[in-house]
Structure 1
Amino acid sequence: LGDGDGTQKEAEARRRQLLRKKYVSRNQRGIIGTPPPVRGRRHETVQTEKYLEELFLHPPELDAGCQTDLFLHRAPSPPYVPAKTGCDAATEILDGELFDFDTEVQPIIEVLVSRTLEQALVEVLHEEEIAEMKQQQQKILALREAELAELRRLEQEEQKRQTERDRRFLQDKIAADLDREMQERITAAKLLQGRLDEIVPEVLAAVDRIETEKDRAEFERQITPWLAKEVAHEIGQWIDANALLEDIIREILLHKKKLLQGDTAGTTAEQPQYDEVDPDEEVEDEPVAAGAVDEEAGEDPEQVEAVPEEEAAPAEHEAQNGDSEKAM
């Protein structure tokens, strides 16, 4: 069965090849063939088709096999041993001939024990030194904290002194400004006293000459609010100046009383306050230094001498206001 199938396949392949050649020759009848070779040359038949074709006609083949014997392994070479150049000798050492262990081990043990004790002592001393250094460090840190606390306290005291100094300077400045303004007003009032006596009748006469109701209403609408505002402002300043002057006089007298009683040893003394306070409030005592007491004591005569002038100012102001009201 196997040979018959192979024969049929070969016949079928041969038939297909013949049909293919016939088809190709039929299609190439109109194609010009290859020209004949030139002299001295020849054409070789080669396959020039587009695709390679399988060859179905195989030449006879024969298979043959052979086996080569393996080489035998060579025996291992013996190790190289050089030739002897001398004679051998042997020595026997019995126990106890070289050294006695019980005798020789004592110095070694002593050295090991001494080195161990020395290292332990060094470690103990090192730990004690570290503990002492920590205690010293804690003492230094505690001293540093105490110094920092004292420094902060001194800074706070200095800040309080500076704040108090600035506050008193501001109070003195305000009092000086009020005093200067009051003196300017008094001077202006004195200078304008004679002029007002001449101007006021003319102004009142001009106001009386307003006849129409419309002009009078316009005059009142423009002048009355401003006049009321200025009068209220002047009265308010006069009241504030009187209250401030009374407070200054009271504080100066109380301070002089404290100084006259002999309280000059740095104890609590009354400080002059220039704030606008209620006369009914109690005067608070503030601690002052001895230097501040001496400075204030040096300034008190000038303040006491200036009291009559300050007392005279409200009186002149009252007289001025009375004259103005009479003129109106």
Structure 2
Amino acid sequence: MAAVSRDYRFAAEPRAIDNRNSKYREYIEEIPPANIMHDRRVVRGNTYASMIIPASTQQEIERQQARERERMKKSKQPAQSTSIKEASPENRDLQQDSYPLIEEPKQEPLLEAHSDPVSNPTQTQVEFFIDRPPTPLFIPNEVGVDVDTQIEDGDLFQFDIEVDPILEVIVGKCLEHARMEVLEEYEIELMRKHKRIFTQKRNAELIEVQRMEAEFIRREQEDNRRKLQARTQRELKKAAHQKYICRISSKRLFSNIRFDVCKRLQDLGVFKNPQDTTMHDQFMPWLLESLQGNLVRQVTVSDILETVFKQTVRELSRQHNEAVTVEYARREQIRQEEIRKRKETEARKQKRNEMRAKRQAERERIALKNKIEEEILNTGNHVDGVTKQPLSDSDGRYNEHVICSPGGQIGELLLFLSSIEETLETELNQEQVTGYLINYITHGMNCPALVYGNLRQPAVEKLNELVQEGIPTEYEEIVRFYMEYLMNTENSVPRTSLTILWNNPESFGIRYGLVEAFLYAYFTIVFAKEDNVQMFSLKEKTVVKGLNWADTGREAAIVRIKIPMKREEHEDEEPSVVSEIPEDQLLDKILMVTPSNENFSVLVIHQIGQRFFRNEMMNWIKATKIIETIDYDRLKAVFLTKCMDFEEKIISIKADGLPEYEFEIN
């Protein structure tokens, strides 16, 4: 309900309610329905704000209250006598002489004066009505008996027969409408074509008219310009001719006249004037002497004033320069202070942004680590016999359980041969490399096969066909054939460790000739024939695996599966000592993982796999004693150094900037 003013009063007078026995209000037909929006007694307005009473309404209310107070005051005063006043002298003057003044007798007042008005207490009550509830809807009782009937299929109509005319009308109407639309589209296309031709003709005509108008304007302008040029030239010739005539006439007229006659007569003294003589002899000398004295005095005063002015200006300039210097210093100090505050603000903002970015990166790093542990490591497979499994290249495109290390087993073996060269300080020839490879496959390798996985599947099939057809027999030609074929970007898998190694082996400390000798020995075993019994017996232990990989982008992170650490707890408060588990206590068991899934891929490095395979090579070289004069400790140190450098360079090339996670899982 809208809020009302404190001066608001109900305008209707109260009256006693009728003695009605009915509980509900009857509807009166004689009273027409009224619109409540036009009732002055209804207070309208916003239900959440006070009603603003206009000034005119407030003034009317105040006037009513004043009239009410005046009425109450009069009702309390005693009633006065209503007798006729005696005629005063003023009234007598107004009377006519023929009618004498007659005094009326005094009468008693008709109303009795009371000090207190008579009042009787009574009660009243405004009408209170209860709305009558709506009359319920009259529903007559059902009369008669309900019956039903059964209509079988085909009793009322045959759909297939009676639908034919409807379909004929619908199909005919659709065809007719479609034909009308096609005709309409054809007519519209004709109209557009006619409009286009008409527009082209009109545009051509407009262009021609514009060209002719432009040509007419140019001709008219050229005509006016030529006429103006001719008229100007004619006026110039006329003026020049007149000058020439005037000059000739003047020369003829003044040819016999002497111009210096007056000057000669004046020089001779014929025109001598006494005033001029007085002027030159008396006045001019006096004037010159007076002027000279005045000039001397003026120069002296000017020098004095100039000295005073210079001193004043010099002092003011010095004060001004000092004030300017102080002001510049103050402004510079303010500017430096503002710069310092701005730099501090920017530094704080930058620090906050860096901290925010660092926290966000740390949160993302932790989330990615949990995701890798959940989706990659927890789905791995624990297997026994580390060296019995093939060692694959660290790449995020594998979709099977693998043991990963940069370069795989081929890269580890090539680094081991390079370490032998560096330890012996000599270069291995082709025969030595072939012998070491055959000896390693025969006596040192525990895995089922030495896998070369750096070629595409079509390239492997094509290489088999080329070998079947026949390849060069000379050593240099065979080596050149293998190197060109393996380094061809159409044949090799992009972005693998071996592809990077073949392109620039010297950057990893490996001799290029050693790479050629190793690949020649390996593929000689791969494509060995039955006549070479030794090579053919090792053919099953060398496999060239074709891959259908593409350069699908970088991995999401680097995952190092570290060797488990041993922690020694102390009884006192000293911190625990963390150290690697000794090699004799390592379990010959490893977690094989799948580096990629549907969401992301990672670059996996199995440190325990690297440890077992490198120990296998060292045990092989020691057990076979194929090189008796070599220092095994130095060989191991050089081998481990080369492997670490190769791993760092490969990771910097393939996964520079990626987050790195370490897991002690085995």
TM bucket normalised to smaller: 0.3 to 0.5
Structure having the higher Rg: 1
Considering fraction of residues, name the structure with more helix: 1
Instruction: Give the structure with the higher percent strand.
Output: 2
